């Protein structure tokens, strides 16, 4: 037994697998490390030092300056993301419920057409959308941007919820109907309490999508209403004066932090929700 | 007054070529226990869903307690249903499951509590009230599902194959319990099953269904003793009825069939068959395994068919003996003390009064 396990532990395949994983890990982590290290350096340190060396003096001036430049946009992003995520998740859940449990004539066709939304590139809808927003009087407003994100996200959230609800037995709905519950009562009392994993999936997915969005932000918002992704781009692309890499890196970290935190705290639900959907759906 | 009346109920799914229900007419009285039984795909579940209002029907009428409910929403039909999968609400406790229907109907809280207690006591699930369905065994879930139906005291109870997810022992226990409950509460019930034993043991009335049609509607005894056609005869009964190909002939003014086992052909007279029908035509003779017994020694001039024993299957309470008659295997159900040896020749006595005859092509009953 001992020999077997030793040979297993040190077999060529094992070493190859671990080596590959370590390389992959490094590929993903080194840029992050460089960003973090740079953000804590002084501008002088950045200019003279090597990319991968530790800061000579650990300092927060980069972070402080970055925050003072982008914090307004940071909150803009929150004002856009939070309502967009909540509304698109809620409507997606309702859509998925109706499509899976109250199928009507043409509901499958409707669902397939809705799925097209998942495959439409952002660029395609820019012009028609700005035209529509203009007609609605929502051009260059946060509300308009929220609306765009809700509409764009619906295809995905509907898909998530529809596939999750397909796996929930119809008998449950029948039982509730005979118990006297209507469309919305069944949704609130029976299905929504069962939906935690898929709600998490939808929230994480939508949060990442909306928070990281650059294109819609740069097109449909302007000036002080812009999200942080756009502000970050503006900051980094400023051509006046010396390049402050420490500030750029700190600002990039600030922009990335919320999605990172969402993954750290809700990541297990994400995996669980996705796999449960796969097995049942 | 009929508690439930189905009038020429028809149902066609979408663009399906065949009707799922081809004109069902059934009527039961208050307090009766109706069984819908048949093989899978016979339309029994469709019919139950139609009664519940979960599926629309194409034509016909469903009358519940004198009121036409054909187009009434399920929630307004005053019906409760027990599902095969139990369909307990997974996020609610047993108490909340039972109370859900009452809560939706805005029953006062003290009444709900009293009703939950009554039902829990009735089903002996008081100690489970605060648990979630996932913490219950199959049998316990089954009880809770019944409790949920009983709590509302509806006009009609529907059971959709409620026992088929239980293991064999529990199934028999729950069957007796459902029967006991029905005898005590006298609830009008419609019960769907594919199990002919459940149909025989539980029902006041049985509707045997096939291909969207009711083949026979009657009491379990009528259906067992007097099957309307070959399908009903073969579906009800275990081991199934024996079907022996025969020719209907006449002999000295009586209708007879001739049976041949081992040895000469023996003419068996058929008192129930008019001689006019005995014109040499082909027929299928139906006889249940318990209607054949083995005679030891000749008694009077009773004609006996002799046959060779091929297989002996002792089941415990009785022994199944297989012999060959007219080229087909025939099962006889005997008391264990009667068991003959394999390979021996036995003399079979048939209970001629209870023989049934069917037409080979259509399966219709001749006599």
**A168 in contact with chain B, both atoms CB, cutoff 8 A:** no
Mean pLDDT of B256-279: 84
**Residue A127 CB partners (closer than 8 Å, separation 6+):** none
CA distance A172 to chain B (A): 5
Query: Residue A280: which pLDDT band, with cuts at 50, 70 and 90?
Result: very low
| Residue A4 pLDDT | 52
pLDDT in tens, B7-16: 999 999 887 7
* Farthest CA pair distance, chain B: 80
Query: How far is A173 from A168, CA to CA, in rounded Å?
Result: 9
Q: Which chain B positions have a beta carbon within 8 Å of A176's beta carbon?
A: 89, 100
Q: Which residues of A97-117 are buried (b: 16+ CB within 10 A; e: fewer)?
A: bbbbbeeeeeeeebbeebeeb
pTM for this entry: 0.82
Give the nearest chain B residue to A172 (CA atoms): B87
pLDDT in tens, B328-341: 999 999 988 878 88
Cβ-Cβ contacts under 8 Å between A and B: the total is 59
**B323 in contact with chain A, both atoms CB, cutoff 8 A:** no
**A243 in contact with chain B, both atoms CB, cutoff 8 A:** no
pLDDT in tens, B157-183: 999 999 988 888 989 999 999 999 999
Strands B282-287 and B266-269: unpaired
pLDDT at A276 over 70: no
pLDDT at B107 over 50: yes
Q: What is the mean pLDDT of chain A?
A: 88
pLDDT at B121 over 70: yes
How large a percentage of chain B has pLDDT more than 70?
98
Query: How far is A46 from A53, CA to CA, in rounded Å?
Result: 10
Query: How far is A12 from A5, CA to CA, in rounded Å?
Result: 14
**A177 in contact with chain B, both atoms CB, cutoff 8 A:** yes
For residue B253, give the 3-state DSSP assignment. Answer: coil
Mean pLDDT of B110-115: 95
Q: Which chain B positions have a beta carbon within 8 Å of A169's beta carbon?
A: 85, 87
**A8 in contact with chain B, both atoms CB, cutoff 8 A:** no
A222's tokens: 């302007």
**Residue A10 CB partners (closer than 8 Å, separation 6+):** none
All domains of chain A in start order, with CATH: 60-280 (1.10.3720.10)
pLDDT in tens, A63-76: 999 999 899 999 99
Q: Cis (ω within 30 of 0) for the bond into A152?
A: no
Q: Report DSSP letters for A44-64, one per residue.
A: HHHHHS-TTSPPSS---HHHH
Four-point Cα dihedral B73, B76, B81, B86, nearest 10: 80
| Residue B21 pLDDT | 93
Query: How far is B150 from B78, CA to CA, in rounded Å?
Result: 12
Query: Residue A7: which pLDDT band, with cuts at 50, 70 and 90?
Result: low
| Residue B116 pLDDT | 95
How large a percentage of chain B has pLDDT more than 90?
68
Q: Do B75 and A174 touch (CB under 8 A)?
A: no
**Could you say which DSSP state residue A240 is in?**
S
Q: Which chain B positions have a beta carbon within 8 Å of A167's beta carbon?
A: none
Distances from the Cα of A215 to the Cαs of A145, A247, B227, in angstroms? Answer: 11, 23, 76
Query: How far is B350 from B292, CA to CA, in rounded Å?
Result: 5
**B84 in contact with chain A, both atoms CB, cutoff 8 A:** yes
Q: Do A180 and B81 touch (CB under 8 A)?
A: no
Query: How far is B319 from B346, CA to CA, in rounded Å?
Result: 15
pLDDT at A5 over 70: no
pLDDT in tens, B186-214: 999 999 999 999 999 999 999 999 999 99
CA distance A98 to chain B (A): 16
Q: Do B85 and A185 touch (CB under 8 A)?
A: no
Q: Do A176 and B148 touch (CB under 8 A)?
A: no
Q: Do A171 and B54 touch (CB under 8 A)?
A: no
pLDDT in tens, A113-141: 988 888 888 888 899 999 999 999 988 88
Q: Could you tell me which of A162, A150, A67 has the C-alpha nearest to residue A112?
A: A162
Per the DSSP assignment, residues forming a β-bridge with B213 are B210
Q: Report DSSP letters for B157-211, one per residue.
A: EEEESTTTTS-HHHHHHHHHHHHHHHHHH---EEEEES-HHHHHHH-SEEEEEET
pLDDT at A281 over 50: no
Query: Residue A279: which pLDDT band, with cuts at 50, 70 and 90?
Result: very low
| Residue B18 pLDDT | 86
B351's tokens: 């209970």
Mean pLDDT of A205-216: 94
Q: Do B74 and A181 touch (CB under 8 A)?
A: no
| Residue A277 pLDDT | 45
Of B83, B91, B105, the CB nearest to A175: B83
| Residue A47 pLDDT | 82
Query: How far is A175 from B347, CA to CA, in rounded Å?
Result: 57
For chain B, give the number of residues. 367
Of B75, B83, B148, the CB nearest to A180: B75
pLDDT in tens, A79-105: 999 999 999 999 999 999 999 999 888
pLDDT in tens, B214-227: 999 999 999 999 99
Q: Do A181 and B87 touch (CB under 8 A)?
A: no
Of B79, B84, B85, the CB nearest to A178: B79
How large a percentage of chain A has pLDDT more than 70?
93
Q: Which chain A positions have a beta carbon within 8 Å of B91's beta carbon?
A: 190, 193-194
| Residue B302 pLDDT | 67
Q: Which chain A positions have a beta carbon within 8 Å of B148's beta carbon?
A: 175, 179
Q: What is the interface pTM, i.e. ipTM, of the complex?
A: 0.82
**Residue B233 CB partners (closer than 8 Å, separation 6+):** B227, B241, B243, B286, B356, B358
| Residue B297 pLDDT | 67
Sign of CA dihedral B57, B59, B65, B67: positive
Query: Residue B263: which pLDDT band, with cuts at 50, 70 and 90?
Result: confident
Q: Do A175 and B79 touch (CB under 8 A)?
A: no
pLDDT in tens, B14-66: 877 888 999 999 999 999 999 999 999 899 999 999 999 999 999 999 999 99
Mean pLDDT of A256-261: 91
Contact criterion met (CB below 8 Å) for B161 and B37: no
Contact criterion met (CB below 8 Å) for B237 and B288: yes
B176's tokens: 């007796």
Q: Do A180 and B85 touch (CB under 8 A)?
A: no
Mean pLDDT of A137-156: 92
| Residue B253 pLDDT | 82
């Amino acid at each position: 037994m001992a020999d077997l396990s030793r040979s297993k532990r040190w077999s060529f395949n094992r070493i190859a697998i671990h080596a590959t994983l370590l390389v992959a890990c490094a590929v993903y982590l080194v840029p992050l490390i460089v960003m973090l290290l740079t953000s804590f350096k002084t501008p002088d340190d950045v200019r003279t030092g090597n990319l991968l060396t530790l800061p000579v003096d650990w300092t927060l001036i980069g972070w402080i300056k970055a925050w003072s430049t982008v914090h307004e946009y940071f909150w803009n992003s929150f004002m856009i993301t939070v309502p967009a995520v909540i509304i698109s998740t809620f409507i997606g859940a309702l859509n998925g419920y109706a499509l899976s449990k109250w199928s009507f004539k043409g509901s499958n066709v409707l669902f397939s057409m809705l799925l097209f939304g998942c495959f439409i590139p952002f660029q395609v809808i820019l012009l028609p959308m700005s035209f529509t927003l203009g007609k609605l009087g929502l051009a260059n407003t946060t509300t308009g941007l929220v609306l765009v994100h809700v509409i764009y996200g619906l295809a995905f959230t509907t898909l998530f919820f529809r596939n999750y609800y397909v796996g929930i037995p119809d008998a449950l709905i029948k039982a509730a109907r005979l118990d006297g519950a209507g469309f919305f009562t069944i949704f609130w009392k029976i299905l929504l309490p069962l939906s935690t994993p898929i709600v998490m999936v939808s929230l994480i997915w939508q949060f990442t999508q909306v928070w990281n969005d650059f294109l819609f932000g740069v097109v449909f918002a302007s000036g002080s209403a812009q999200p942080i992704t756009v502000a970050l781009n503006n900051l980094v692309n400023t051509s006046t004066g010396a390049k402050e890499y420490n500030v750029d890196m700190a600002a990039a970290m600030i922009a990335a932090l919320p999605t990172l935190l969402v993954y750290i705290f809700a990541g297990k639900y994400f995996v669980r929700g996705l796999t449960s959907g796969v097995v049942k759906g | 007054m009929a508690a439930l009346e189905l009038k020429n109920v028809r149902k066609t799914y979408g663009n399906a070529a065949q009707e799922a229900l081809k004109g069902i007419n059934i009527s039961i009285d208050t307090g009766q226990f109706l069984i819908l039984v048949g093989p899978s795909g016979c339309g029994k579940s469709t019919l139950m869903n139609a009664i519940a209002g979960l599926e629309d029907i194409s034509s016909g009428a469903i009358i519940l307690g004198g009121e036409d409910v054909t187009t009434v929403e399920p929630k307004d039909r005053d019906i409760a249903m027990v599902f095969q999968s139990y369909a307990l609400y997974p996020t609610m406790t047993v108490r909340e499951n039972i109370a859900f229907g009452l809560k939706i109907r805005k029953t006062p809280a003290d009444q709900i509590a009293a009703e939950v207690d009554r039902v829990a006591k009735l089903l002996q699930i008081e100690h489970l009230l605060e648990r979630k369905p996932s913490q219950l065994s199959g049998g316990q879930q089954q009880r809770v599902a019944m409790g949920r139906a009983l709590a509302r005291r509806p006009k009609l109870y529907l059971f959709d194959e409620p026992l088929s997810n239980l293991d064999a022992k529990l199934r028999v226990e729950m069957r007796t319990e459902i029967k006991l409950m029905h005898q005590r509460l006298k609830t009008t019930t419609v019960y769907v099953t594919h199990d002919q034993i459940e149909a025989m043991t539980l029902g006041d009335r049985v509707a045997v269904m096939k291909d969207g049609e009711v083949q026979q509607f009657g009491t379990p005894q009528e259906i067992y003793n007097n099957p309307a056609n070959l399908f009903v005869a073969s579906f009800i009964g275990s081991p199934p009825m024996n079907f022996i190909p025969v020719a209907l002939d006449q002999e000295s003014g009586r209708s007879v069939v001739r049976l041949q086992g081992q040895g000469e052909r023996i003419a068996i007279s058929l008192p129930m068959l008019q001689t006019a029908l005995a014109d040499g035509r082909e027929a299928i003779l139906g006889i249940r395994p318990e209607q054949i017994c083995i005679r030891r020694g000749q008694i009077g001039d009773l004609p006996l068919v002799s046959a060779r024993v091929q297989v002996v299957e002792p089941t415990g309470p009785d022994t199944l003996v297989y012999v060959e008659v007219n080229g087909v295997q025939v099962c006889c159900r005997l008391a264990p003390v009667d068991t003959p040896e394999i390979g021996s020749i036995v003399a079979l006595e048939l209970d001629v009064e209870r023989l049934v005859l069917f037409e080979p092509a259509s399966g219709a009953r001749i006599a």
